[in-house]
């Protein structure tokens, strides 16, 4: 069931639109990530949903209630929306317990019990209740911010780059904790991030914004495997982009004749392969391998994740092609080795 409807929302601060006719439908209980490069409009969209900005046109409906547009404009504090920001925005003079209980009635009989439950939910040790924010680590501060937002039982939780100030290991742990806590609370969440890996792993729906426009919206797997254009393909992860001649069901390219998804457009086009679709196997010395092959030009060792540069000589061109391919550390051939290149799964034909 649609919980949040974003209907043709536009917003300009000057001649250039920050948001241009954005349409999105967000399901109840879902986790949506909004990604895009800097300046693409992510924060503006979040601020409009929160009620900190007014759209120039379009409408916003939350659970059947008009929040903005069509004559409505519900103020931020009456929207029932929780927000966790990048820095947590905790009250520095209040203890952890008072930060978490800030929105709860002071005299409520179960106030302390509720605070204790929320601390447990976000995995904060009870002994921290009396501490002040400056006595906590970055990750602990974000947990307090999350607990404070959850205390009000918001119908919608907005997460504005909440993990960006944390280092990599803690970021991953916090992302999993937050996803689990939101699921347990049954809250619908929208995460804004410029980190595509974070978006793909956190969300069940990802919206890609570029220059104020919604380029693509869908499940992470669909976007990663079938990006709409080159920019989205490379934004969402490592991509191998090749020129190809498409005939029904197949792409003729430098790697030979590859399968493409049924229904792909035909003619000259760019195809995309993800690095994990490609396997390199060392060819036996003296025997020319059948199928596409190349010579290892360079190997960048990265432990579990190595990058191999493969040189492919072409009879039809003076210059060779180079493909950069990710390999698992223990499988990598050495520089100068002849390798056979095999492709698993269909290539994706890009629309542009």
The residues that touch ligand ATP, with contacts defined as CB under 6 A, are 13, 18, 36, 38-44, 194
CB nearer ligand ATP, residue 44 or residue 264: 44
Distance between CA atoms of 220 and 205, rounded to whole angstroms? Answer: 6
Q: Tell me if 213 sits within 8 A of 20, measured CB to CB.
A: yes
What are the φ/ψ torsions at residue 176 (nearest 5 degrees)? -70, -40
Q: Tell me if 325 sits within 8 A of 275, measured CB to CB.
A: yes
Please state whether 173 falls in left (phi above 0), alpha (psi between -120 and 50) or beta. alpha
Q: How far is the CB of 22 from ligand ATP (least distance, A)?
A: 11
Residue 96 parent element (H or E):
helix 96-100
Q: How far is the CB of 34 from ligand ATP (least distance, A)?
A: 8
CB nearer ligand ATP, residue 44 or residue 99: 44
Q: How far is the CB of 213 from ligand ATP (least distance, A)?
A: 11
CB nearer ligand ATP, residue 44 or residue 188: 44
Residue 241 parent element (H or E):
strand 240-247
Q: How far is the CB of 21 from ligand ATP (least distance, A)?
A: 15
CB nearer ligand ATP, residue 43 or residue 95: 43
CB nearer ligand ATP, residue 37 or residue 291: 37
CA atoms within 13 A on the CB side of 131: 15
Distance between CA atoms of 128 and 103, rounded to whole angstroms? Answer: 19
CB nearer ligand ATP, residue 41 or residue 133: 41
Interacting residues of 78 by C-beta distance below 8 A, sequence separation 6+:
none
Distance between CA atoms of 334 and 297, rounded to whole angstroms? Answer: 9
CB nearer ligand ATP, residue 114 or residue 194: 194
User: Rounded to whole angstroms, what are the CA distances from 134 to 1, 21, 163?
Assistant: 42, 42, 18
Residue with tokens 């679709």: 277
């Amino acid at each position: 069931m649609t919980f949040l409807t974003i209907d043709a929302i536009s917003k300009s601060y000057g001649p250039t639109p920050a948001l241009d006719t954005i349409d999105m439908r967000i399901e109840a209980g879902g986790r949506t990530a909004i990604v895009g490069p800097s300046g693409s409009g992510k924060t503006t969209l979040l601020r409009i949903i929160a009620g900190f900005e007014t759209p120039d046109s379009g409408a916003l409906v939350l659970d059947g209630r008009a929040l903005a547009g069509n004559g409505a404009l519900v103020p931020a504090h009456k929207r029932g929306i929780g927000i966790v920001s990048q820095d947590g925005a905790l009250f520095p003079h209040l203890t952890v317990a008072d930060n978490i209980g800030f929105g709860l009635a002071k005299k409520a009989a179960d106030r302390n019990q509720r605070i204790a439950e929320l601390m447990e939910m976000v995995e904060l040790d009870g002994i921290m209740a009396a501490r002040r924010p400056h006595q906590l680590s970055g990750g602990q501060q974000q947990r307090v911010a999350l607990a404070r937002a959850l205390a009000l039982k918001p119908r919608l939780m907005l997460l504005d780059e909440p993990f960006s100030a944390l280092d990599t290991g803690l970021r991953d742990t916090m992302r999993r904790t937050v996803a689990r806590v939101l699921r347990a609370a049954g809250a619908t969440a929208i995460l804004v991030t410029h980190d595509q890996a974070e978006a793909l792993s956190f969300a069940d729906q990802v919206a890609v914004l570029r220059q104020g426009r919604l380029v693509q919206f869908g499940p992470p797997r669909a976007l990663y495997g079938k990006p709409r254009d080159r920019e989205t393909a490379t934004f969402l992860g490592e991509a191998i982009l090749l020129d190809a001649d498409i005939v029904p069901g197949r792409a003729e390219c430098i790697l030979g004749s590859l399968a493409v998804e049924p229904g792909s457009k035909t003619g000259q086009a760019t195809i995309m392969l993800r690095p994990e679709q490609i396997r390199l196997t060392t060819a036996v010395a003296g025997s020319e391998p059948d199928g596409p092959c190349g010579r290892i030009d360079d190997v960048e060792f990265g432990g579990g994740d190595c990058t191999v540069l493969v040189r492919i000589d072409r009879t039809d061109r003076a210059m060779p092609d180079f493909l950069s391919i990710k390999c698992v550390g223990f499988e990598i051939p050495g520089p100068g080795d002849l390798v056979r290149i095999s492709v698993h799964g269909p290539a994706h034909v890009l629309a542009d």
